Amino acid sequence: MKKMSKGNIALSIVLCIILIWAFIAVIPKPSYMEDDNPFMSQEGKPPHIIAHAGGNMEFPDNTLEAFYNAYSVDPDVIMEADVNMTADNVIILSHDRTLDRKTTLIDAPVIETYYSDLVNDAIDFGYENEIDGPNGTNVDGEFIRYTNYEGDTVTPLDVDYPEGVEPRHEEKFLVTTLEDLITSFPDNHMIIEIKQYGETGQAALEEVLRLMAELDGDYNTFARINLASFHHEIYESFLKYQATDYPNLLFSPQEASIREFFTLQLLRLNAFYNDPVTSFQVPMREGPINLATNGFIHSANQHNIAVHYWTINDPDDMRHLIEIGADGILTDRPTLLREIIQEYYE
C-alpha cells in the first residue's frame, strides 16, 4: 500500500479542521429562551426605545417622573433603571451608591440611609450636584438644581402623565422604589441594574428577587424584568439563582461573558457560547473594537439574545444603529430617538 506523504497528511488534517469548523459554524446555536425574546425587535420593526434611567437629559434620572415622561413618548418603551438597597432593606432607584449627587444629603451612602427618612423628610431627588468621584460625596456642599438638555429646570408638573395619574409633588422629585416602578407600569419591560456589590450587592439582589417573586402573580415580573450588573459576583449569582430557585430569571451578562461571545463569534465558534442570557447591553465601541455591526447583532440573535447599545444621544449614531438592525437603543433623550425612528418607520 502506498504511504501518504507528509504533505498529504497535513492537507488532510487541514481539510478535516475546516470541515469541523464549517459544521460548528452552521449548527443551531444554543438559546436559553425558547419563545420569542421580548427584548429583541421583531423583523420589520424599529429598535426598542430604552429610556436610560428614564431619560435623564429630559427629567432627573431614576425618578418616577422621568419614566412617566418616557412613557408619554412611547407607551412600549423599555425602562432601564439602577437600584440600590437602603439601610431598612428597601430597593430604591439610584444610579450612585451615594445620594450626594441627586439630593441635598451629604456623605450619604444609600446602604446607610433609611428609606423611611427619605419619605418622611420628603427628600428631593431633583439635583445634579458636583461630587468628588463616582459614587462620591458632594464636593463643597453646594446644591445644583437639575436642568434638562436645553438648560431648563423642570418640575413634576411638566410631565405629560397618563389619564388618571396625578403628580406626587408639585416641586420635588421624591424617592422612587423598584416596587413603585413595577406597579406604575404593569405592562412595560424593564432592565434593572444592581449597582451595589460585595455582601451589600448580594443582599440587594436577594431583596430584588424576593420583591419580584412577591409581585409576579399580579405584575408578571419574571417575564418583564431583565436584571443586569457590571459586577462579576452578582452575575455568578444570577446564574446560580436561575439554575435553582428562579428558573425563569432573565438577565444580561457582565463584560467577561460578552468578550467571550465576541471572540467566539469572530471565529464562527459561537455555538460554544452557552451563557443563558437574554440580552447584551454594549457600547458602540470598546477601544478599537467596533461592536456596532450587523454581524455581531446577527450572531447574538442566532442565540435569541437581544443586542442593546448604550448610551446613545447622537442622531447619527441612532440612525446607524437603526440601519444595522439593533434590537434596542438606550438613550437619555427618548423624545429625540422617537423622532429619528419616525424618519424610517412613519
What pLDDT was estimated at residue 43?
86
Taking only the tens place, the pLDDT of each residue in 243-287 is: 999 999 999 998 999 999 999 999 888 889 999 999 999 999 998
Quick check: is 129 in a domain? no
Amino acid at 252: S
* pTM (predicted TM-score): 0.91
CATH number at residue 83: 3.20.20.190
Q: Does the pLDDT value for residue 13 go beyond 50?
A: no
Cell, residue 316: 447619527
Comparing 195 with 24, which gets the higher pLDDT? 195
Quick check: is 154 in a domain? no
Quick check: is 26 in a domain? no
Q: Does the pLDDT value for residue 217 go beyond 50?
A: yes
Structural domain of residue 193, as residue ranges? 35-96+176-345
Quote the number of domains for the chain.
Answer: 1
Taking only the tens place, the pLDDT of each residue in 238-253 is: 999 999 999 999 999 9
Taking only the tens place, the pLDDT of each residue in 125-164 is: 999 999 999 999 998 889 999 999 999 999 999 999 999 9
- Residue 145's φ and ψ, nearest 5 degrees, are -65, 145
Quick check: is 286 in a domain? yes
